[in-house]
Amino acid sequence: MAKNLTKLIVLSALFMGAAHVLPGQSLIFRQFIMFTDTIEDDGVMFPASSDDAEQENDEMDSLFDDDLDAGWEGAPDDQNVLHTGLRFRHIGIPKGAIIDSAFIRVFSHEDKSASDVARITIFGEKSSNSLTFTEDALITNRPRTSASVLWEVKEEWELWKPYHTADIKSIVQEIIDQDGWEAGNALGIFLIGENQGLSDDENAREFESFENIADPEDGGDGQNHPERVPELIVYFRVSNARLEVPIAFTGTFEDDGVVFEGSSDDAEQENDEMDSLFDDDLDAGWEGDPADQNALSTGLRFRNVLLPKGAVIDSAYIQVWSHESKSEEDVARITIAGEASDLSSTFTEDALISDRPRTSSSLLWEVKEKWELWGKYQTPDLKSIVSEIASRPGWVSGNPMTFLLLGENQGLSDVENAREFESYENIADPEDGGDGQNHPERRPRLVIYYSSGTVSANTPDSSSDFCRVFPNPNRSGQLFVEITEADPARVWVLDATGRMIVAPVKTEGGWINLQTTGWGKGIYFLICQNNKATVCKKVIIE
């Protein structure tokens, strides 16, 4: 009977997997609490963050401590309601995304028993771009989302082990649906404690802060552990998302006594020599005059590219503004490649653009259209190059992305087979009818359209589906299973042949974390069963 049930479940999963298509598979975005400043305490300098904060009753605690508390202290002589604020910056989730699941991962700062139950209500900050915390403004005075989630923490906690909040997808969805939301903004989350009455237990949970220290008195090494900083994890779907990244400021420089803002993220090379990194235009192509033959190449590095790993690139291009008028006869043959690097560095005058490692994907941009002064133009579709860079094992949302525009010898010519376009330091020259000002809107910019693609699903999207699985397809080594109903349930995993990989695990709602590193690539079937229904999920391990 058991074998027949297993076969029936597997066959049903295969059938349903072929029968249904979801509008997109989940992309994952992860972000830790980040550094904000260097602080001195008793003569010791240390990196710190004001993006995690703690409030006890109606008073803010120090912003810099090794742990964060949320919940309730109910002892007769020490009754305190404890709140935590967490701010996550550079959120790479575009407006219009559908949030499938979201939670915060924390690491315990103290052992806690199952009897030590903390009732923590989670809200978001009702702001499209939240600000960091200060000691003179209460967490509880900040505007809150209408969406909230009760996180009743009643499981046993072990020291320095990871744990997850309840699913806060409704909170994240409300924040990114606001009118002012843009990818790259900051998002605030509040963990609000409540008065739980007198108690022999401390109904609070302590978890690691940005400034966490593994205390030697607790068996630690006395060091800060960046991997234990609170982390926001979001699974989302998106279609036709648009990402625009201009060349950005890198520093203030001086030239002939004039101080100006410049960028070393756009650069120019003439034959085998680098030009100055700071000029009002960039040249690419070929100068074929008998007296002046030069192959001209340009490098463009775009920082903080908030492109999720696993995104499907629909199209991409670089947009430039002409620095000179050009006729149709002035044809420039420019080969565009990406830099084959997970974390490309800015340009310097002692390292050639053409020496950088290149993607296997490249394309020819044959520019033969008429250009008007300060007109807007764009390269051909760069999606194959962008896809190759974003598919590298080390790609992380927020990494830089660099492109090489390489000129070639086109032979002797009566015209200059090159195109000049505005740099970061562009100036609209009055001699050309300009206003003598820098124009930020004319700086080169990378534009990417992407989506989360499509994926076959094993079940239709239904409110009766009490079992959710993320991420799927899975590359992370960890599979999170959420049981959304409180009824007792069992979860187990079979491979494609029906062999049991994970024996039944009992749960009464909440999250189960399965390690997938030893499973091997392929298709698996995760079965969730309670006293009402059996749900089967097809899981793909890549």
46-100 per-position pLDDT tens digit: 899 999 999 999 999 999 999 999 999 988 888 999 999 999 999 999 999 999 8
Last residue of a domain, one of 418, 451, 484: 451
Question: How confident is the model over 176-191, as a mean pLDDT?
Answer: 97
Q: What percent of the chain has pLDDT over 90?
A: 65
Q: Is the per-residue pLDDT at 248 higher than 90?
A: yes
281 and 428 fall within a common domain: yes
191 and 309 fall within a common domain: no
Question: What's the pLDDT tens digit per position in 349-363?
Answer: 999 999 999 999 999
6 and 39 fall within a common domain: no
d(CA 405, CA 364) in angstroms, rounded, equals 9
Instruction: Please give the pLDDT value at position 288.
Output: 84
For 393, list phi and psi in degrees, rounded to 5.
-55, -30
228 and 257 fall within a common domain: no
Boundaries of domain holding 493: 2-25+456-541
194 and 73 fall within a common domain: yes
Residue 352's Cβ-count burial label (10 Å; 0-12, 13-18, 19+) is: middle
495 and 422 fall within a common domain: no
Report which of 193, 207, 192, 191 is spatially closest to residue 112, judged by C-alpha positions: 207
Instruction: Please give the pLDDT value at position 2.
Output: 46
Distances (CA, A) of 157 to 114, 121, 206, 261: 8, 19, 10, 51
Instruction: Please give the pLDDT value at position 457.
Output: 34
Instruction: Please give the pLDDT value at position 454.
Output: 54
Helices (H), 55-168: none
Instruction: Give the pair of three-digit tokens for residue 71.
Output: 């919940």
For residue 446, name the pLDDT band (cuts at 50, 70, 90): very high
Tokens 């009118």 belong to residue = 179
Report which of 256, 260, 280 is spatially closest to residue 431, judged by C-alpha positions: 280
Helices (H), 155-266: 169-176
32 and 56 fall within a common domain: yes
19 and 39 fall within a common domain: no
- Supply the DSSP symbol for 503: E
Residue of higher predicted confidence among 400 and 252: 400
* pTM of structure: 0.77
d(CA 426, CA 421) in angstroms, rounded, equals 9
Last residue of a domain, one of 394, 427, 451: 451
d(CA 149, CA 353) in angstroms, rounded, equals 51
d(CA 146, CA 437) in angstroms, rounded, equals 46
For residue 12, name the pLDDT band (cuts at 50, 70, 90): very low
CATH code, domain with 473: 2.60.40.3080
Q: Is the per-residue pLDDT at 308 higher than 60?
A: yes
48 and 191 fall within a common domain: yes
* Max intra-chain CA distance, the chain: 93
For residue 25, name the pLDDT band (cuts at 50, 70, 90): low
Strand partners, 98: 237
Distances (CA, A) of 7 to 61, 494, 529: 58, 10, 15
Instruction: Please give the pLDDT value at position 81.
Output: 97
Last residue of a domain, one of 423, 451, 479: 451
The beta-carbon contacts of 433-442 under 8 Å, at least 24 apart in sequence, are 433/373, 434/374, 439/321, 440/246, 442/321, 442/374
Q: Are 209 and 73 in contact (CB under 8 A)?
A: no
Q: Is the per-residue pLDDT at 22 higher than 70?
A: no
Q: Are 106 and 208 in contact (CB under 8 A)?
A: yes
For 441, list phi and psi in degrees, rounded to 5.
-70, -10
Whether residue 488 is preceded by a cis peptide bond, meaning omega within 30 degrees of 0, is no
